[in-house]
Structures are given as C-alpha cells and as structure tokens.
Structure 1
Amino acid sequence: MSKAPASVSKSGTRQVAPGAIDHSQELGHGNSPAAWTCVIVMLVGALIAAIAFVIASTPIFIGGAVVMVIGLILGYVMRKAGYGVEGSKLKNSGH
C-alpha cells in the first residue's frame, strides 16, 4: 500500500496517488430489504450454531451453518430480484 498522500489540484478536485484508496466517496451501508434479510437469517443461523456448540451437538451445528448459507443465498437472490441497494423494486414511482 502506498504511503503517498492525496493532493488537491489547483482546480479544487482531489487527486489520489496510484494504488491509494480514495476515502472521499460515499460507500453506503447496504440499507435494503435484501441486506437486512440476509443479515437476520445469518444471525439466526449463527445463534443456532452457537447453541449447538455449547451443547456439543454436531448435527444441530451443521444445521446452523446451513441456515447461514441459506441466508447468504437468499440475500443474493433478493438483490437480483430488485430488492438490493438502488434496486428496481425500491425506486420511487411518484405515488
């Protein structure tokens, strides 16, 4: 990673050294139904796996891991269906 700082040109635009990361852009935080569904389902799976770990139950632990993978797939499918950030289902139609 380059230690070169970003500099501001005379026109006021920010120039970033090659290989440097530009932190001035807004990244967003994935606030969408797809992201929330993915995270909630994966948290439930993690809870199941954690409880199974404490009670030493391998089948339930694997079930929790499967629920986490299902959450990941569900989030991806919802994003492709238009429920992700700036998805087609979330655009304001003026109603």
Structure 2
Amino acid sequence: MREFLVRITTTVPEGTPPEEVAARRAAEAEHAEELAAAGHLWRLWRPEGERRSSVGIWCADDEAELHAKVLDTLPLRPWMTVTVTPLAPHPSDPGRADGSP
C-alpha cells in the first residue's frame, strides 16, 4: 500500500438542518474508525486554529483506490474539498521499514 498526505476542508452548506449535520458527523466518526481498522487511515490531525480542516496520512494501493474506495465513501464527502499528495520514502526517514540507519 502507498501513503498519501490528505488535507480535507469541510464546509457545511448554508441552510443544512442541524440534525443532518449531527447525523453525518456521527457517521463520519464511525466510518473513520472502520477505515483505520482496515488500514486506510493511519493518522489524523487538525491544524491548530482550523476547526473545519484536517490533515492525515491515508493509505491505499493507488490514488484511484484512495478516492473511489476510501475518501468518496466518507459521509461528509459531498461537503469536502480534498487535496491529495502521494508520498514517497525519504532516505533519512528514521522510521524506515528496512531498519537501516
């Protein structure tokens, strides 16, 4: 699987009933747990001072799968702006899988 840096900004459309927002947010949290258990969501942060944004490390076989089978399944996806950056290994990464210095 490949790693991707994903930045998401969620904008709830004006006039959306609060109960719909609450239901989608609850479903989003539940689905995020499922995606984490399946190995697609590795880490997730909220940039300081940005309530509507998140930055995370997501994983999929390729970018097409990331969109079709992962990000597009999020309950809040219709309200999201998503930026995906594919990541490549860095030779100085202290967490390299081969264990070399």
- State TM-score, norm by structure 1: 0.32
Larger Rg computed on CA atoms:
1
Please state which structure has a larger fraction of its residues in strand.
2
